[in-house]
Structure 1
Amino acid sequence: MKNLKSSLNSLQEKARERTVKTQDIEYDLETLVKRINNNTIKLNPDYQRRHRWPNDVSSRLIESLLLNIPIPIVFISQDIDVDDELLDRTPRYTVIDGQQRLTAIRDFMTGSLILSGLEILDELNGAALSDLPPFLTRRLDDRTVRCLRIDSTVDPQVKYDIFERLNTGSVKLEPQELRNAVVRGAFNDLIKKLSTYSDFRQLLQISDKELDDNPKIRKMEDVELVLRYFALRNGGYKEPRKLGFKDFLTEKMTEFNGFSSEDIFNMGEDFKFCISAIRKFLGPYAFSKHKVENGVSVKRMSTFNAAVYDAILIAFSDKNNVSNLEEKKYTSGGFNFKNISILTDKQRLSLFEDDDFFDAVSGSVNDLGKIRTRINKVIEDLS
C-alpha cells in the first residue's frame, strides 16, 4: 500500500477509462420479439456464437417464464460501430449477454420452438405457443424481460473485458466467441470464412457429416486456429509480450481488422496456400501427434494436435516467406507449389523423437516458450 499514493493518477485514469455507464430497460415479450424481428435489437447468431442451446434448455427457459420464475438480466449495448439509425430514428442495440435466452423467447413466441424435456409442466411437452391454454398465454402477456443497456466503448480490449465478466449464460462463451462479438471487422469475417476451407477442415478432422455437432465448430475453435496462424506467422511467435496469450490474440485481431481490403484478401490467399501445400504433401493427418521410436510411429496419439499445427504451419509459412513468395500463383487448377521447402513425412515423424520437441507439443498449447521451441525445431529441419 506504500506505492498507492504515488500511483494515484494512474489509478484515477484507469477508473475513468473502465467505468461503464448503464441504464435499465424493461420489455414485455411481444415488444421484445418485435424489436428482434425488425433488427432494432440485433440477434444474429453469427455475431455472437454458433447457437448451442439444445431444445430442452430453451424449453426450460420458457417454463421459467410460465411459472413466473425470475430469469437473468439481458445485457445490451448501443455500440458506435453498429448504431446505424433506422428510418424511424430508433437506435439499434446488440446483445452482450443473453443471446441464447432471447433466441429461445423469439423462437417460442413465433411458433418455431416446440417444448420438450419439461419436468414440472411436463404436460406441455410437444406443445407450441398456439397450444397453450388461455391462462398460460395471459401469463406470458404479463411477463417482462429486464435489460441493462451498457454505453458503448471504442476500445475493443475493454469491450472484451466487459463480455468476459458478464458471460453468465448456462453455456459459457469461449474466447473466440467473445472476440467474434467485440472485435468485428473485415479480418474477423475473413477468418470465419477461412475456417470453412475444405483442406483446413480435413486437416482438423472435421467431417462434413458432423458440422452441426462438431465441438471445434460450435466453440469457434476452428476460427481461433486460423487467427493463431496470422498472429504467430512472420515472426509473431518471437515477439516479447506482457499480455497473456488470450489477450495477445485479441490485440492481433484488432490490429488486423484495420488492414486494407487488399491486404486482408492477400492474407486469405496466404493461408489457403499454406494449408493446401501441407494437405498435399503430408496428407490429412499432417497435424497429428505421434510416439516415435527408431523413426517409426509406434502410436498415433491424436489425429489433430493444435501445438503440432502451430509448429508445422508457422514454420512452413515463415521459412518460405509465403507473403512474398513469387512462385505462389493460383489458377483454376490450384496453387503452384514450385520451389517451396516442406517436411517429408519421415522428417515430420522424426520430430517426435526429439525430447525437446515432444515436450513442446505437450501440455499447455499457449505456453510462449514451448511455442517458440516447437516452431524453431521445424524451421531447423526445413533448412
Structure 2
Amino acid sequence: MSKAQKVVEPSADDILAAEAQIVSQSKRIEFYITEYSVEILAMKVRDGEYEVPAYQREYTWEDERKSRFIESLLMGLPIPFIFFWEMPDGRLEIVDGSQRLRTIEEFIFGGFRLGPLEQLTHVTGLTFKDLPQSRQRKILNRSIRGIILNEHADEAARFDMFARINTGSKIANTAEVRRGALIGPFLDMIIDLSTSQEFVAMTPMSTKSVREREREELVTRFFAYGDGLDDYRDRPSDFLFQYSRKMNETFKSDPALVDEYKRRFYATMKFVSQVFPNNFSKTARSSATPRARFESIAIGAASALVEDPAIASKTTAELGIADWIEDPGFIKVTNSDGANARSRLRDRIEFVRDKLVGKS
C-alpha cells in the first residue's frame, strides 16, 4: 500500500451494514449434507427422478473421461460432492454433477465398456456385469456425498452456486458456465446467433466442439473483444464472464440494443463470407475454426467496417486479401503461442483491420 493511500476505518454503521448483508445473503443458501449409495444414484438417474435444468450441460463427456471417472470410483478415490436443489414437489434438481451421475448410470445399467485405464489396466475393456458379483456389490454400496439446497434457495442463488463451483475449473468449459450462470437477454442473443445457418456454415468444427458450445464462445468473443479491451487482463474466461454479466443488465435496460448488436454481427459475417475465400478456416476443406484466426478476421473486419464503411462493396481482389492471408506476418499473429495475451490479441485484430482499410 502506498503512502498516499489512507486507510479509512469503518464506522459502527458500516460494520452493522456488513453484518446485515452477510445474514441476508446467507439466508439465500440453506442446505444439508447427505450420502447416497452408487446404486441409488444410478437407479434415480435411470428412472428419470432427477431434474436436469436448462442451465446444465448436455451429456458431453467423451468415453476417455467417463472411463477415467469410473476408474477413480473403482479405486475408492474421493468423488466431488453432487449438488442438488430440493424442488417444492420433493424431487431433486441437479445443480452440479450431471456428467458424473449420467456416467455412473451408464456404467451400472447401460453396458458402458471401459476404455484404456491408467492404473487398473486389467479392468480395461470390461463392463460392470463383467466384474465379479462381490465387486459389483462393493461398487453399488459405495456412497457419494451430496449437498442439497432447500426449496427456499431461489434461481439466482442456484445459478450463482453453479458459477462459483465451475468458473476456472475443467469440469465445465467457459461457454457452459456462462450459459448456466448468466441466463438473460445477452446470452439469449448469443445462443441465437451461434445457431444461425449463416454462422454454422462459416465455422466448421467437430461434433464434440459443437456440443461443448464452441460457437457460443466465438460469438461472445466477437462482441466482448470488439467492444474494447481496456478491462482485459490476459484471462479470457474472467473477462468474458464479467462482460456477459454486464451486457445482460445492459440489454435489460435497453432492449433495442439486441437489434443493433445483431446488425453488427450479421453485417460482419456477410462481409467475411464475401471477401474471405475460406471464411475463418485455413483451407476450403478444413474441419476446424481456430479461435485466434476467428478473432483476427471477425473483429478486425468489424473494426474495419466501422472505420471505412466503403470496403463493404469491395471485392477480394480490390482488398488484396490474397496478398496477405498467407503472409508470415498474419500466420505469426494468429498462432497459438501466447494467444490470450492482450498485446497478441490486439495485434491480430489490428493486423486485419489495417490491411482491410489500406493502412499497411
1:292 matched residue in structure 2: none
Tell me, in whole angstroms, the C-alpha distance in 2 between the residues paired with 1:37 and 1:315: 53
Distance change (3 Å), C-alpha of 1:256 and 1:58: farther
Identity, % of aligned pairs? Answer: 20
Contact 2:220/2:240 (8 A) holds in 1: no
1:100 matched residue in structure 2: 99
Distance change (3 Å), C-alpha of 1:378 and 1:70: same
Aligned pairs (5 A) from 1:80-119? 89-96=89-96, 98-118=97-117
1:381 matched residue in structure 2: 357
Instruction: Choose from 55, 60, 84 the match for 2:63.
Output: 55
Instruction: Choose from 210, 217, 220 the match for 1:224.
Output: 217
Tell me, in whole angstroms, the C-alpha distance in 2 between the residues paired with 1:251 and 1:368: 25
Distance change (3 Å), C-alpha of 1:202 and 1:108: same
The DSSP-based 3-state class of the residue aligned with 2:33 is strand
Tell me, in whole angstroms, the C-alpha distance in 2 between the residues paired with 1:317 and 1:343: 15
Offset of residue 179 of structure 1: 0.6
Offset of residue 24 of structure 1: 0.8
RMSD value, Cα: 4.9
**Residue type matched to 2:35 in 1?**
E
> Unaligned stretches of 5+ in structure 2?
1-5, 283-289
Tell me, in whole angstroms, the C-alpha distance in 2 between the residues paired with 1:156 and 1:184: 12
**Residue type matched to 2:300 in 1?**
A
Distance change (3 Å), C-alpha of 1:266 and 1:381: closer
Tell me, in whole angstroms, the C-alpha distance in 2 between the residues paired with 1:116 and 1:74: 24
2:297 matched residue in structure 1: 308
2:3 matched residue in structure 1: none
Distance change (3 Å), C-alpha of 1:93 and 1:258: farther
Instruction: Choose from 36, 39, 42 the match for 1:30.
Output: 39
Contact 2:85/2:95 (8 A) holds in 1: yes
Q: Deviations over 1:11-47 (max 9, x none)?
A: 4466446544432132222332343345543347x84
**Residue type matched to 1:102 in 2?**
L
Tell me, in whole angstroms, the C-alpha distance in 1 between the residues paired with 2:177 and 2:277: 33
Offset of residue 54 of structure 1: 3.3
**Residue type matched to 1:26 in 2?**
E
Q: Deviations over 1:94-153 (max 9, x none)?
A: 332x33322210211222411222355444433323333221221133122211134446
How many residues align structurally?
329
Q: Deviations over 1:278-328 (max 9, x none)?
A: 21233324687xxxxxxxxxxxx99824143222135547976xxxxxxxx
Q: Deviations over 1:214-267 (max 9, x none)?
A: 4xx46534212212345567xx44998999623432214533775999986896
Tell me, in whole angstroms, the C-alpha distance in 2 between the residues paired with 1:276 and 1:309: 11
1:65 matched residue in structure 2: 73
Distance change (3 Å), C-alpha of 1:257 and 1:360: same
Tell me, in whole angstroms, the C-alpha distance in 2 between the residues paired with 1:342 and 1:48: 43
Q: TM-score, normalising length from structure 1?
A: 0.63
Instruction: Choose from 197, 207, 212 the match for 1:211.
Output: 207
1:276 matched residue in structure 2: 270
Q: Deviations over 1:159-206 (max 9, x none)?
A: 4652346x65xx4433222112212356545533533445434544x2
Is the helix fraction higher in 1 or 2? Answer: 2
